[in-house]
Amino acid sequence: MDARQQSLQELQQIKKMMERSSKFSSLSGLSGIAAGVCALVGIWLVVQTIAKWKQDHLKNIYAPEDELAKQLLVIAIVTFMAAAIFSFIFIFLRCKKLGIPVLGRSARRVIINIAIPLFAGALFIFRLSTLGTYELIAPACLIFYGIALVNASKYTLDEIRYMGLTELVIGIINLWILGYGLIFWGIGFGLVHIIYGVIIWWKYERNQTETL
């Protein structure tokens, strides 16, 4: 090996160490795909539940709105938890494969930087719902989620930044097309997750022999 090749290799190793120590790069595209599928299933259940409630209402069967709201809330919580659990499982498996600690320092930074805007967003959305401005809930979810992703993207794959920007744009468009929240959720939490999941999988995981 000549000196030039040696220098190249050394530089590459330095770059790898810099990235590895400052970024959490063992995200799994499969997590995104799983989260997106969960979101779409959840939204489908919501649509079905609302349709059934409307039918009952028309047939004069007793169907209180409280009951509907409760059912929708349960669906939302189960969907969110399923998405979170599946995402975690795939990230966990990827970390194990690459031999990287799951809750290492860079992963912790990603989590904290996602959590701060999401926490503020949760309070904001809770307040929106208590004030009865339901139409703003869907765009607010998308916008805060987008901000959270952009914020955390400094410490992880670049794709997360673009995914965050995509969520932001979808949320902002939703602000001017109120009342179609479910469709925008389907796009933002369903399709966008699946698309970026496929991109990340294609780019980083397709060749499983590649290691850090």
Partner 1 sequence: MSNPIENLNKTFDSRVRLGIMSTLIVNDQINFNDLKQLIGVTDGNLASHIKALEEIGYIKVNKGFIGKKTNTTYTITKLGEKSFQQHLGALEKMIKTMK
Helix or strand holding residue 30 (H, E): helix 29-58
| Nearer residue to partner 1 within complex by CB, 156 or 166 | 156
In whole angstroms, how close is the CB of 18 to partner 1 at the nearest point? 5
Q: What CA dihedral angle connects 49, 53, 59 and 63, to 10 degrees? A: 140
In whole angstroms, how close is the CB of 100 to partner 1 at the nearest point? 8
Name the amino acid, one letter, at 205. E
Using the rule CB under 8 A, give the single segment among 17-25, 48-56, 120-128, 161-169 that binds partner 1: 17-25
The CA distance from 161 to 174, in Å, is 20
Helices 192-200 and 29-58 cross at an angle (nearest 10°) of 160
> Per CB under 8 A, does 112 bind partner 1?
no
In whole angstroms, how close is the CB of 26 to partner 1 at the nearest point? 13
DSSP state, 24? Answer: B
According to CB under 8 A, which one of 7, 48, 55, 133 is a site residue for partner 1?
7
| Nearer residue to partner 1 within complex by CB, 111 or 123 | 111
| Nearer residue to partner 1 within complex by CB, 153 or 174 | 153
Distance in angstroms between the alpha carbons of the first and the last residue of the chain:
22
| Nearer residue to partner 1 within complex by CB, 2 or 66 | 2
Name the amino acid, one letter, at 91. I
Contacting residues toward partner 1, per CB under 8 A? 2-4, 7-8, 10-11, 13-15, 17-18, 20-22, 101, 104-105
